[in-house]
Chain A
Amino acid sequence: MIDLLWLIPALPFAGFLVLILAGSRLPRIVVAVLGAGSVGFSAVVACLIGIEFISSPLVKTSFTRTVWTWMSFEGFSPSTSFCLDSLSLLMVLVVTVVGFLIHLYSVEFMADDDAYHRYFAYMNLFVTAMLVLVLADNLMLLYLGWEGVGLCSYLLIGFWYKDPVNARAAMKAFVMTRIGDTGMIVGLFLLYNSLGTLEIHELMVRAVRDWPVGSVMATVAAALLLCGALGKSAQLPLQTWLPDAMAGPTPVSALIHAATMVTAGVYLIARTHELFALAPAVQAAVAVIGVATLLVAGFSALAQQDLKRVLAYSTISQIGYMFLALGVGAWSAAMFHFAIHAFFKSLLFLGAGAIIMSTHHEQNMFRLGGLRTQLPVTFWTFLAGAASLAALPLITSGFYSKDAILWYAWSSEKGSVWLWLGGVAGALLTSIYTFRMVFLIFFGEARTKVYKRPGTAMLVPLIVLAVLSMVAGFIELPHTLGDVRLFSGYLGAVLPPVPIPPGQASLEGILGIVAAAVSVVGICLAYLLFLKVPQIADRAASTLAGRALHRLWLEGCGFDWLYQRLLVFPFVTIARINRSDFIDFFYQLAAFLAEGLHQGLSATQTGRTRHYAVGIGVGALIIIGMAVWL
């Protein structure tokens, strides 16, 4: 079974090929079966392989299968080979299972769309590229998948391309991530040039052997890889594309911009964690960027009116937590939060999609309200996701994953009180904005009509994801509370545990209680401010400082404004000046001459036969004259 590893990415790719080539001629039901079915089969294969892999001794090492040699050029021969270890298996399972649930949801959500087959073709291509990314055993193949998901993200953000706003959002996402990718490809060149391989395992071995801790080469290489991760995972300072990426269909936001693609940066850093451990300065930067991002995005989420933009900022903020965990060396805590986040955030996006569909595309939270009774299933599942996002203590998965990150942010050798404080402040913000969203949408008076209720294909994924985001956290419990280590033990073969200095262990319980208290306080604050006495929030927002802060937060802390002034405006100005430069003069002269000749010759074509006859006669005379007298 494990030899069929290549089948996992091949199935969605086959689906993509069929749909893009023949999709427009197939009936919609066939398109839906092909689109969702290929990913479903892939998920089944992934589960079977996963069971076999975990129960075999391979789980301690890894399993590599070369499918073919991609190219061979003077000793540089990256192969198309897939590597399965506990880290990539985790990613594969999340991508295929969550991916399948989202495909299933899309079958109903996109049912009225004209470009049904195009949607599923792009989605299948995305799943393929994401699987190639996580299964790649060399950085070259990983980069192929990396660019593949970027392309699909572009195509799907601009899915409704007839509206120029969507097309511009797609372009923005593409260009912003390209900035990071440029750094990443330079990093790959550097790694290959100095270490002579791109095969990840071998690369890490050679890096540890050749480079001492803190050496310049290791720092530069790690910083360049971090560039790529920042762009893809929408972290400061390249985060501004993600809120605009909400222009795409909502299931796309759930799959690409919440659960899978945006966490590719986290995966990249975890995958090359030996390299980052060699560069303490870069690793510290990862933690600081994570904290800064989670605070900026948390504040921004607090002021948004658009339901999907709240979720977008919340995604940026939660990936900030993952970066914080990576920065303090808690690799498996980062991956744990990734998995849990994939469940609850895609659940929240799918719930948002159900709300948007039921109310005829109403995304403004202030025009929604009181939907609790009208959409009961959506309400309860959304509540489960929101509780998990807000890290409601004890009963939700999000609590355990976030608690682990906060604990390591304090106690790890690379952690500090400041990182922990930033994380806790972020947790308070998270629970406030999450429950602000819940209270505005589901409580209070009804401000909109429900036109249509979600059907089975949409409710099943919601329920499955809701269950997962409640119970999935119980595979990893803190020392003070059951001490279950299934998850980090499972990842232990790839990701080393966090070294905790002695004397810190006693703090874990207290920190856990603080984190729990912060979450509950945040929920109570949200209840007070946005449901019970909204006058307080209104009065605070109407003061001068309140208005300024609200505007700043609404626009994502002004990064767009800054980039517009700092980069776009000078560039456009220079381009405009350069439009009529000296070199252009020569080209314009050539164009002018061609134009003149054209005018002259065109005038000889009068369309009159007799004029042509004159031409023939004169020509004949000239030739005869030349024959006679020359």
Chain B
Amino acid sequence: MKDAPLLSLRDLSISYRGPSGRLPTVRSVDLDVRPGEIVALVGESGSGKSTIAHAVTGLLPPGARVDGGAITFGGLDLARLPERAFRQVRGARIGFVPQDPGVALNPVQRIGAQVAEALVVHGLAGRRTARGEAVALLDRAGLPDPAVRARQYPHELSGGMRQRVLIAMAIAARPDLIVADEPTSALDPTVQKVILDHFTRLAAESGTAVLLITHDLGVAADRAHRTAVMARGELAETGPTARVLTDPRAPATRDLLAATLVPDSPPKPPPASGGAPLLVAEGLVKEFRLGKAPVRAVDEVGFEIRRGETLALVGESGSGKSTTARLVLRLSEPQAGRIVLDGEDVTRHRGERLRLLRRRVQLIHQNPASSFDPRLSVLDVVTEPLRAFGIGDRAARAERARELLEQVALPASALRRRPAELSGGQNQRVAIARALAVSPELIVCDEPVSALDVSVRARVLDLLAALQEETGVAYLFITHDLAVVKRIAHRVAVMRTGRIVETGTAQAVFDDPRHEHTRALLAAIPGARLDRTPDPTHR
């Protein structure tokens, strides 16, 4: 690999216009991508990695500005290329795969026309021929029935299919470089794996270089020849993927690695509890009406949770796991089935009896910020359950709030702030403090870390585990992420299309999965080859 670099960033600095002056987002970054090479640019949100992707494709939003440095590509300095000239490069010599296929396609235009446009704007096909070529491109991108799909609209395709359409557009003009900005992070893990496999194989076949932007070190480990890690706008470290992963030199890399690696030691076992389980769910059914036909979101679901243990309810989007959580919380009424808490059937509790149930079962939301009344301070948020149950006077409640904040490792000064002023991780700690306020026996955690950055994610999970040890609370942990499960769960229930397909201890489910869906989920965890280099025969 001694070729001259295809793309090279030298001392690149980019800033955004902020409310008070310019905010530097990217600071003197140097990076090379050689022909045919896959380079992963890894970092947390706000690290500047997406800004680099936009600068390379000339799609910086208004308000962003290249302050210094150069982006050299095929003899051109992209940082100073006028917009009109950039249009000859964009799409023709640099392809772009955007994130979130759900919104990246024009909803009112047929798939075929959108793919054809990538050829037509560069004069690579006429109006007539473009249609056929679009179908061929969709076929290359691995879309089944490409001729049929070309006549459909984006909303008629699944997320994975739409991502393949976006890939077809990116490869249309046979570019030398494709910039892929988190191309699969909005997809379910099993779909993510298939698409990334296909995408990297296409790139290898045509000798196209790829700049792969991702927050997931696991994805980088599986795909990239070289990996560059970004933190706070600066390049923390860069090198061959194998070296970066096995011998990380920058603290930022080590943080990312620690958060991504599945821990060797499973969570501490729950205290042996004799007697009846804390919560039993039996034969829960919830149907929704979609148009005429009722859809069973939850279909005969049953499980047990013992005191002090964590049961993970795992499934991809639409599997019914969140609906199950709402049923357990009694925020939604099941059509059939029973929920028994500590030997007492609570399925039909209403009014005051239902309210008293809230002292024993609490909730942590996926998006903590939206679960806080925007008018309230952190103190008001944390003490809300105490107020509701008339526990203590004002001073006692404030004292308890300080205690709770200390438990979740937040400074007491945060009490006077508003949730909007805190970061996502801090907000999730506030939500945990609120859930703990009335010392519940069970907390339902609905995807509590999926909106957080990976490094923050690990810390919040560790906090939840520590709190469990301290207070003996049980968790019903809803998640789509098996890496998270391994870190925290004692037992696992795998859901698919409203049904539980497999239940067992975490150990058993990971080591000896029975159901094929469980096996597919396990195989799709990125970073399985974290300690190996990408297979050179791949190229």
A and B held together in a complex: no
B→A interface (CB under 8 Å) = none
